[in-house]
Every structure is written in C-alpha cells, then in structure tokens.
Structure 1
Amino acid sequence: MKTELAPLADGGTLAYTIRGEGPPLVLISGLGGLASFWNAFAEVCASHFQVVTYDHRGVGGSSALDGPTSIAAMRQDLTGLLDHLGIASAAVLGHSTGGAIAQNLALAQPERVSRLVLSATFARPCGYMRRLFAGRIDLLDRLGIDAYRRHAVTLLNAPYWLAANDAVVEAELEAELEAAATRSKPADAAVVRERMLAVLGHDAEGELAQISCPVRVVVAADDIVTPAYLSQRLTDAIPQAELKVLPRGGHYAMRAESDLYRDAVLDFLRGGSSAAETRT
C-alpha cells in the first residue's frame, strides 16, 4: 500500500491509498478529512474489496484549500478521484461529514453508488448540531487549533472508551499536535473552520427520497455529535434505507466497538440486507 496523488480538473490534487482487490469500496472520512482515519477498518475491508481512502482537499497530503468550500465541492473532488481511478460505480461508506458527501454523490451521480452506508451522519443540521458547531467554531477562533483538537477528543470518543484508553489517546493527540507544529496553525484553523461551515450548510433533507440504491444507516445510541435521531430521520426519508443502532460507541464507534461496527457494515456492503429496521 502506498499513497499516490490524483490530479483534479482545477489543478488540485488528492492524496489517496488503495488496499486489497475486488469490487471498489470508497471510505469517506469525516470532518478531519484524513485517509488514515480508516486505517484499521480499511484493513478489515481489504479482504473483500479494493478499498479507496483519501485525504480531503486542504488536509494531509492533498493540495491546499483556498477559501470557502461546501459539501458539493467536496463531492466534486471525490468525483475527480473516481474519474482518475476509472471507477464507474462503487460501494460507498461515508462517516459524519463524509456521510454528507456520500449523500451528495448519490443524489448528483446515482450511477456511481451501488450501495451506500451512512455512518453517524445527518441530512441537515438540527438546532442541537448548530449550537454544537457554533461553539466549536467559537472555541477555534478564541483559543486556536490546539485547544480545538483537545476538545474534539472528548466529543468524538465514547466516555467509557476514552476513560479506558486515556494514555493511548493522549499519546496520539500529542503526536498530532507535534506534527501540526511544523505547519501553519492559522492555515490549519482556517481549513477546519471552512469545513465546519460546510457542514452547517449541508441540506439534503428534501431530496433524500431520490436516493434509489440500497442504504444502511449506522449510528451509536450514545453519539453526542450526530445524535441517533438524525439517523432515524435519514432512514425515514430514504426509501431503500434500513437502520442499525449500536448500543454504544460514541461518534467513533468504529474504534470503540470495532466488532459491532464491522458486523453492522461489512455484511451489508457485501450484499446482505434486511427489509426491516434492525437494532443490536
């Protein structure tokens, strides 16, 4: 496995990795936008799929983000990557912000999505999400990117898992902050800010009935970033959708409850389905 660069029509590039062989599966990460978010889960999937992960524009090894962005713009970048790889259609799993991008792709180019997993995501930010993200933006503006990253750890990870893995998480955070110290903190903060504004601007609620491919919606019951009722709304609005609610796991259930998350997602991506809503 190695990272390569895909050229985009506007002159930008996306850094991407490919693992495994088989039908294509695209994993779209959330607000952080890093391909490495999926490392552990991508290895699991690589036994069954050709797994594509990528750094979003402005993040990691991809080209810089200059100015405002949107979920539609992020989808256009993904389309450019798929074109570069010659992938006409793929199974797609989008987590959180990545789920918004996946919705946009399924609506704008339905022929490119064979099966869709919407993980801990939303059709439109509710009042709770708007307050949460407004607070995160305010924290970023007032205290800077390092404080923002420290605060994010407590939002994204389930409390029980964070308590049990605190030393590991702290070491990862310190490594992230050390790596970030070599970059421009104002530039990093600007990218995060623009991406949060893009999240707040996402609204696919009135179009979801047009999604025609099989869809599984997955969320943990204790997710406090994109609460489970937002996944219920997605499921209610998409004709071919079914809901899988994990009993716990927080916003990063693929880490806190990796086996439950794998079981909720992998069988569906390989073609399994149930007609009714399921709850584990």
Structure 2
Amino acid sequence: MKADGSFEVALPDGARLRCWSEGSGPPLLLVSGLGGTAGFWKGASATLSRQFRVLRFDQRGIGASSRGSAPCTIAQLAADCLAVLDAAGIESCVMLGHSTGGCIGQALGTMAPERLRGLILSASWLRPGRYMSALFGARRAILDPLPEAYAASSALMAYPPAWLEANWPVFEAAVAAAPQTPEARQIVRERIDALLAFDGSADAGALTMPLLVLGARDDLIVPAFLQEELAAALLEPTLILLDSGGHFFPNSRPDAFTAKVAEWIGML
C-alpha cells in the first residue's frame, strides 16, 4: 500500500483495480454506480473515514483500473469486490452500494454472505421494470451519436434542479468527462446492459445480514417506488427516504447521507 493509501489488485482475467484505503475502525466498502468511480465517494469518504476504515475503488475499465477480459456482469463486479476485500485483508465488512452498486451488493450478499456484516443499498432497486428499462434504453441510444448529450442528460437527471443551478461546475465537469472514445463508450454500454439484466427478486428474501435501504423521494433515475419495492422484498430492512437530494444525494446532501450511514452502522 502506498503512502496515499492506494493499492492495486490484480485479477485472473488481467484486470487491475486501483483501490484506496482511508481511516481506521470497522471496515466499510463503498461501491459506486454506473459511473464506477472511486471519485464519486471522495467527499463522503473524507467524513466516514473519521469513524471507519473506508475502502473504495475504480471498477474494471473505469478511471485508473484496467478492463480485463471477463464479461461485465453484476456477478463479476461482485466477485471483484471480494478480490478487493481479500487484498485488503478484510474478512467481513459493511458494504454500501449506490445505484448499480446496490445491485452489486445484492449479488455479493448472495455470493458470500459471511463477508458482509451489513449491507446498505443506496438509491438501488430489485429489478429494473418498465420505467428504468425505457430510461436506460434511451440513454444507451444517445451514447454513441451524442456522448456530450448523454453526459449532460445524466447530470441533469441526477441532481435536484435548484441544487444543480447553484452548483453549475458539477454539470460542466460531467459534460467535460463525456465518453468520447469508442472504447469508453463500450465500457458504459456494457455496464448499462449489466444493470438492465440484473434481477435480484429470486434472492432478496434470502439476504440475512442487517439491511438498510437508503434513498431520496425526488430521485428521477431510481424513483422512490422502486426503492420501496426493494425494501418490501428484503427480510426486515430499515427503509430511510430523504425528502430531497435526487439520485446523487450522497453528493447533494452529504451531511444527511453520512449521518444516516454512520448512525445505522453504529447500531449493528
């Protein structure tokens, strides 16, 4: 591990994952959504690492992590999480998965329940349904011909309008980071396909670790009714829906988000 807490995990298929470990205390694995970046958690990690050992990583093909040759499926991304835990020497942890990361968390909880002492499903869902299938199908359709429009639409839907108006550099940075190369767009495309193919309904009731479903009522990407459907399928979860914050409420409501996470983990 380097001085900045970063380390790499080499996977059998040739992928190399760039990871970061921050703070000390009970281990907390943060797994981001469609974007797949460790950077999504930078603000939350700075706060949560005061109480926990926080692990975050760029998922395969994203940021500083190489793609490898394995198919991109939710199950494979869950196996990647296990490799990160193994490399960090962590036998069990609380995992917090946001959006697609929540699907990865459900898969990990099914695959290796003994590795999770708790699972937080943030802005996530049980199965995509018609609304999400139509939304991500439309986003996928504009990805290749209009990558800037893809990035712009993502940011516009991810945050409350008033918050984004007051924090416009967030929008500008999202558009500047649009997937311009064919390789970058292929990574996004296969990740959209993976999330649309996920259906956790057969296994949700068998997740026996403590569970928190955490979301926002004004989420346009994963509407509250989908988060309530997820909670209804789980075994005695805690359900917390913030009144506002949009899909990226960990960034737009950082104090409320980190407080709810820390409070819930503290009760385990």
Query: Which moved further from structure 2: 85-94 or 193-202?
Result: 85-94
One-letter identity of the residue aligned with 2:257: Y
2:89 corresponds in structure 1 to 86
TM-score relative to the length of structure 1: 0.90
1:149 corresponds in structure 2 to 151
1:119 to 2:119 alignment: no
Deviations 1:24-51 (A, max 9, x none): 1000001000001000001111011110
* Secondary structure of the structure 2 residue equivalent to 1:205: coil
- Aligned CA distance change for structure 1 residues 171 and 132 (closer, same or farther; 3 Å): closer
Q: Distance in 2 between matches of 1:174 and 1:199?
A: 22
Percent identity over paired residues: 36
1:165 to 2:167 alignment: yes
Q: Distance in 2 between matches of 1:225 and 1:255?
A: 15
Q: How does 1:125-204 map to 2 (within 5 A)?
A: 125-143=128-146, 145-166=147-168, 168-173=169-174, 175-177=176-178, 185-204=181-200
1:249 corresponds in structure 2 to 245
- Aligned CA distance change for structure 1 residues 65 and 142 (closer, same or farther; 3 Å): farther
1:106 to 2:109 alignment: yes
2:59 corresponds in structure 1 to 56
Q: Distance in 1 between matches of 2:174 and 2:72?
A: 26
One-letter identity of the residue aligned with 1:25: L
Q: Distance in 2 between matches of 1:65 and 1:19?
A: 26
Q: Distance in 2 between matches of 1:148 and 1:171?
A: 13
Deviations 1:219-248 (A, max 9, x none): 100001011111111111111301001000
- Aligned CA distance change for structure 1 residues 267 and 32 (closer, same or farther; 3 Å): same
- Aligned CA distance change for structure 1 residues 35 and 253 (closer, same or farther; 3 Å): same
One-letter identity of the residue aligned with 2:264: F
Deviations 1:103-136 (A, max 9, x none): 1001110001101110000111011000000000
**Deviation at 1:210?**
0.4
TM-score relative to the length of structure 2: 0.94
- Aligned CA distance change for structure 1 residues 133 and 170 (closer, same or farther; 3 Å): closer
Deviations 1:195-238 (A, max 9, x none): 00000000011211100011110110000101111111111111
Q: How does 1:191-230 map to 2 (within 5 A)?
A: 191-230=187-226
The size of the alignment, in residue pairs, is 265
Does the CA-based 8 Å contact 2:16-2:68 persist in structure 1? no
Q: Distance in 2 between matches of 1:240 and 1:224?
A: 26
**Deviation at 1:141?**
2.8
- Root-mean-square deviation over aligned CA pairs: 1.5
2:227 corresponds in structure 1 to 231
**Deviation at 1:175?**
4.9
Decide which of 61, 75, 79 is 1:76's aligned counterpart.
Answer: 79
* Secondary structure of the structure 2 residue equivalent to 1:30: coil
